[in-house]
Amino acid sequence: MKNLFTIGEMGGLFRTNIRTLRYYDDIGLLKPEVVDPKTGYRYYSARQFERMNTIKYLRNLNMPLDKIKAFFENRDTLVMEQILEEQLQETRAQLARLQAIERKLTTRLEQLDYAMHAQLDQIHEKHLPARPAAVLKKEIRQGENLEYPIRELERTSQLPPAMFLGKVGVSIRRENLLAGQFDRFSAIFVLIEEEDNYKGETAWLPEGDFLAIWYAGTHQDSAIYYKKLLAHMDTLGLECCGDSVEITWIDSGFTDDTEKYVTELQLPVRAKVPHL
């Protein structure tokens, strides 16, 4: 048996776990050269090294075991070329998915960092581009649990649940804002990112100038801040020209500490049109 190697020696030579070699035996991928009928000990020969080396190489390329086994069952250059090409395409697809995840993580971290360090209770002006969103037009009373409308939005727009963290907003009609009615929303939406690969119907939050304010709290705390925005708007000679955009950037999806919740209100504005 001097030309044979125990399973432990085989594992050591190829830095492979013994349990893995046993599994390869079980599925018929790499069976021992000899199995002692009395002890059940497995022994491998040097001529199996090339097969084991090929398995290691293909596994390092993340090749599935069933494809490796299929190759050995029909060992041929064209077969190898085919499975390598298939693996290349799968690797490219995985890479694209990982790059999309990277971009989503980067965006979410930037938003989270901005919200954590936002200057609270201060009104500022900003110009925002048109923003793609999936929108559900629905009257929702303030204080109502938003989880059901979110699920309804998810169902009607065919949105994957993974899209929602940190991107859900609500809106109040312009008419209600001007009437001082801040206790009901007219719509709920989720902002769409390119990486979401969303195929449903897309609405757009319009491009324009906005007055915005960040505050510590949730949607239920918004009334006083809407009043501040509307009063400041009047002093600047501006008027509200559309529905509000209201997003809780830090909520229960991020923390159990309600004192760390952060919400942003955005009101679209334009110069007042003089009355003739």
Q: What are the tens digits of pLDDT across the range 78-90?
A: 999 999 999 999 9
Predicted local confidence at residue 151, as pLDDT: 83
What is the average per-residue pLDDT within 35-51?
93
The closest of 257, 211, 254 to 231, measured between CA atoms, is 211
Domains of the chain: 4-75 (1.10.1660.10), 118-271 (3.20.80.10)
More confident residue, 115 or 14: 14
Q: Is the pLDDT of residue 168 over 90?
A: no
Q: What are the tens digits of pLDDT across the range 169-223?
A: 999 999 999 999 999 999 999 888 887 777 788 899 999 999 999 999 888 899 9
More confident residue, 229 or 250: 229
Predicted local confidence at residue 166, as pLDDT: 60
| Long-range own/partner contacts, residues 194-200 (CB < 8 A, 24 or more apart) | 194/103, 195/100, 195/101, 195/103, 195/104, 196/160, 196/163, 197/100, 198/134, 198/159, 198/163, 199/158, 200/134, 200/157, 200/158, 200/159
Q: Is the pLDDT of residue 126 over 80?
A: yes
Q: What are the tens digits of pLDDT across the range 104-121?
A: 888 888 888 988 898 999
* Token reading at 50: 């090339």
What is the average per-residue pLDDT within 247-270?
89
Asked whether the beta carbons of 42 and 6 are under 8 A apart, the reply is: yes
Q: For residues 82-93, b (16+ Cβ closer than 10 Å) or e, as one string?
A: ebeeebeeeeee
Helix residue ranges, H only, 117-222: 147-157, 174-178
| Confidence band of 1 (pLDDT split at 50, 70, 90) | very low
* Separation between Cα atoms, residue 208 and residue 124, nearest integer Å: 14
Q: Is the pLDDT of residue 93 over 90?
A: yes
| Confidence band of 148 (pLDDT split at 50, 70, 90) | confident
Q: Which three-class secondary structure state does DSSP give residue 30? A: coil
Q: Is the pLDDT of residue 165 over 80?
A: no
Tell me the percentage of the chain whose pLDDT exceeds 90.
68
* Separation between Cα atoms, residue 117 and residue 123, nearest integer Å: 15
* Separation between Cα atoms, residue 62 and residue 171, nearest integer Å: 47
* Token reading at 37: 């009928």
More confident residue, 78 or 150: 78
Q: Is the pLDDT of residue 229 over 80?
A: yes
Helix residue ranges, H only, the chain: 7-14, 18-26, 49-60, 65-73, 77-116, 147-157, 174-178, 223-235
